[in-house]
Copies of this chain bind each other. A is one copy, B any other.
Amino acid sequence: MNMRNARNVEVCFTPSLLEGYTGLDSTVVVIDIFRATSSICTAFSNGVKSLLPVATTEEAMSYKELGFLVAGERDGLKLDFADFGNSPYNFARENIEGRSVVYTTTNGTSTIHQASRYHKTIIGSFLNAGAVVDYLAGQDRNALLLCAGWKGRFNLEDTLCAGYIAKRLLGTGGFHTNCDSAHAAIDIWNFAEKNPRAYIEKAAHRKRLREKGLDDCIDFCLTIDYTSVVPVLVGNELVKLDKKT
């Protein structure tokens, strides 16, 4: 095993388990595919200047009162004071290009805050999986794929995406894993690979979105390599990764 191959990739199923992962010098990839991190990737693909993730609705409301554009949801539904909700379709170019947007969601934004104490926090989804893999393969740090889950619990869709990214990372030859969660996530991806759309039908959050009529973006969120953007947390803001960050 050469030094580059010695880099480890781990998967953490939910922020509630983050205490068990001690490598604060790792790069963390936050994954919340239905819908926060898919929406964030879409926003940067459509030219947003920055996103300011805030954990609470109170903070989001304060920013709204200061004149900021605000996107936000709780339990899938748009917050009444927000300019728009959490569908990737809300982050259309005409809504957000060149602007800074304050952003709060049920699980995704608080997960970003919990990840922020690690070396670097980037945003992952199926949409930018290849770009995330290229970025991680091009640096010399261990990778922690952090699933947002659902209110502290494991969820199937984020694990599926983490498994996909972990498998591609191992495929670069630059990573190994000694993490049982990573093995499990990869095998869940292997099990689902032929038809991820059908596989995800049994996910609890898939049902939640359907019941609320918010599932029009499922196919889009499962699109692999739609964009090459890698959103990265710098200070309190998500910006598009460039060579200087």
Contact = CB atoms under 8 A, between A and B. Distances in A.
Contacts of A153: 17, 20, 180-181
Given A153-B181, A154-B184, A180-B203, A13 B16 contact: no
Nearest to A199: B187
A173 to B, nearest CB: 18
A17 to B, nearest CB: 6
B19 A152 contact: yes
A190 interface: yes
SS class, residues of chain A in contact with chain B = helix
15 contacts: A13-B13, A14-B17, A16-B16, A16-B17, A16-B20, A17-B152, A20-B151, A20-B152, A20-B153, A153-B180, A154-B181, A156-B184, A178-B207, A180-B204, A190-B191
A78 interface: no
Nearest to A157: B180
In the complex this chain forms, how many copies of it are found? 2
Contacts of A159: 184
A188 interface: yes
A203 B184 CA distance: 10
Q: How big is the A interface, by class?
A: 20 to 34
A74 interface: no
A198 to B, nearest CB: 13
Given A16-B17, A188-B188, 20 more contacts: A13-B13, A13-B154, A17-B17, A17-B153, A17-B154, A20-B151, A20-B153, A153-B181, A154-B181, A156-B184, A178-B204, A179-B204, A180-B204, A180-B205, A183-B202, A183-B203, A187-B188, A187-B191, A187-B192, A191-B191
